[in-house]
Amino acid sequence: MRWNGQELGVEDASALPGLGRLDGFVRSVQTPEFAGITFHEVLAKSALNKVPGPSRMPFGWTINPYRGCSHACSYCLHPDTLILMADGRHKTLSSIRIGDRVIGTERRGSYRRYVSTTVSAVWSTRKRAHRVRLADGTEVIGSADHRFLTDRGWKYIRPSESGQRPHLTTNNRLQGFGTGPARDLVGDAVKTHADLRVVGIDDLGETVDMIDITTGTGDFIANGVVSHNCFARPTHEYLDLDGGDDFDRQIVVKVNVGDVLRKELGRASWQRHPVALGTNTDPYQRAEGRYALMPRIIDELTASRTPFSILTKGTLLRRDLDRLADASRHVSVDIAMSIAIYDDELQQSVEHGTPTAPARLATVRAVREAGLDCGVFLMPILPYLTDTRAHLDEALRRASEAGATSVVHTALRLKPGVKEWYLQWLAREHPDLLPKYRAMYPGRAAEPPKEYRRWLAARVRPLLRAHGLAHGEESPVTGGPAHSTSAPTLWEADVRGAAGPPTLF
C-alpha cells in the first residue's frame, strides 16, 4: 500500500493491545516522514464530545480529531540487550529494524505462549540506567519505567515517585528462560525453568542511550526474559496504551470526523453550543499536515453557526488563516497559541518535538495580520525555571511585540501520572530542584501552595501592565481567551510525554 507516494506498513486491529476496542478500525500505517510513529485510522461514530457536568472547564463541548499527539520514548533498554528473533537467533537491540520478526508472547486459553511477531516501530532516547540482576546470572539494563513479566504480573523496574505502581522487588521471579540456549519456542507455553529470581536492582547513576521497539504482541524477549513494549497518557489508557510514549507514537486518526460532525451539527437538538478544539490533543499537530481534518471541521462549524475556539502550539494553523478569518465574519472564533517557555535550550529539553517559541510567536503575528485576535497561553509556568522576573518579562515583551491581544497564565499542575514523568526529568536535568518540587507538591498534591500562586500573580500583574497586555481568562463562550482584567481561571495543564519530561500543555 502507498500513502502520498510512499510505501506503508499495514497492520490490523490486533497490532496493539486495545485497538480492538476501537469501532470502525480501518488500518494502521507508517511512513518514513513520521519515523517511529504509527497512525491508526478509524471511522468515528461521533465527533462532538460533551464535557462532563462536574468539569471545571468553561466550555461544554469539544472536538478531538486525533487521539495522541505527534508533536513530540520513554520506556527503553540498553542497545546491547539481546533480542530473540523468530528464527531462533539473537540480535542486539541496536540492530533491530522495522519489519523484523521477533518472538513475543500472547495469551491463548489458560496459557501465555511464545509467538512470532513483527516489529512495527523502533526509536531511541536517553534515560537514567538501572540494572536488574537475576539469580542465574542474567542482567538487563533499562529505564526505571520499563516493565517485565513476573510471576505476579507486569512490573516496572522502579516505583514511581508516589510509589503507586507495581515494581520489581527481590520477591519476584521473571518469566522466560534467562541465559539458557534459545530454541524453537513458537507455540510453547511460557514456563520458567531457570532461576530468574530478582537478586538486585541497581541505579547505575548515569544517563545513557537506550532503545525501545513496538511489536504486534506488545512484548518481546530481552536477554531471555519477557519484556513489555511499555506503552506509557490518560486518554490512551482505554486502548491499553500508555499516556507517555504511546501518546506521542501511537496516533488514532478519526479520518471521517468531518462527515460525522456535519450530521451531528445538523440535528434539530443541536443548540449551537460553543465548541473548543485543542483542550485534549492539539488539532494542529504535525499529523494534520497529512490528514488535513481541520479545514472541514472549521467549515462545518461555521456553516452551522457554532462558535468555537482553537488552542494550539502548532504553526500549521497558518495554513487555515483565510478560512478562519472568513469564519469569524459569521460566528465567534477565539484563537490562542500556547507558548510556555522562551528560553531556547530549556524549551528544547522540555518539549523537543514542538515548534520553537519564535515560530509560534510568528504565528501569533500572522493571526493578527489576518485580522483576528490571538491570545497567548503562558502556561504552565515552571517553578524555579520560568518564574523568574527576567524570564516572565522577556516572555511578555515578546508576546506583546508579536501582537498578542491577551495573556493567560497559570502555575504548573502535576496531576497523577504526570507528576512521575516530570519529576523523573527534573531529577536528570535539574537534580538540585527536586527537593524544592517535592516540598511544593507533596504526596498526591497536584497544585503548588496558594501562597506561591498569589506570589506568582503579583509578579506577573505589573509586567502585563508594563507591556500593555490584557490579563486574559478563558472565555465563558468558547473556552478560548477572553479580554478581562479579572484573575484567570486555573487551567488544567495537559502534560504530554516526550523524551524529556512530558510536553507541558
Q: Which CATH number fits domain 2-73+241-482: 3.40.50.300, 1.10.3720.10, 3.40.50.720, 3.80.30.30?
A: 3.80.30.30
The angle subtended at Cα 261 by Cα 255 and Cα 262, nearest 5°, is 115
Helix (H) or strand (E) holding 365: helix 357-369
pLDDT for position 3:
34
Helix (H) or strand (E) holding 264: helix 257-265
pLDDT for position 208:
87
Strands 333-338 and 308-312: parallel
Instruction: Measure the N-to-C terminal CA separation of the chain; round to a whole number of Å.
Output: 35
For the chain, domain boundaries: 2-73+241-482, 82-231
Q: Any long-range contacts for 316-320 (C-beta under 8 Å, 24+ apart)?
A: 316/284, 316/285, 316/286, 316/288, 316/289, 317/284, 317/363, 317/367, 318/363, 318/366, 318/367, 320/294, 320/295
**461, 445 contact by CB (below 8 A):** no
What span, in angstroms and rounded, lies between the C-alpha atoms of 126 and 207? 6
Helix (H) or strand (E) holding 250: strand 250-254
**412, 383 contact by CB (below 8 A):** yes
Same fold, 2-73+241-482 and 82-231: no
pLDDT for position 141:
95
Structure letter (DSSP) for residue 418: H
Superfamily of domain covering 82-231: Hedgehog/Intein (Hint) domain (2.170.16.10)
The angle subtended at Cα 404 by Cα 402 and Cα 408, nearest 5°, is 135
* 353 alpha carbon, distance to own chain's centre: 11
Written as nine digits, the cell of 347 is 524549551
Q: What is the mean pLDDT of each run of 10 residues along the chain (505 residues)?
A: 36 43 68 66 86 53 77 67 93 89 88 87 76 94 89 85 74 87 82 91 90 82 85 38 48 90 95 88 84 96 96 92 97 94 85 82 96 94 96 97 94 80 85 94 91 95 95 48 32 30 34
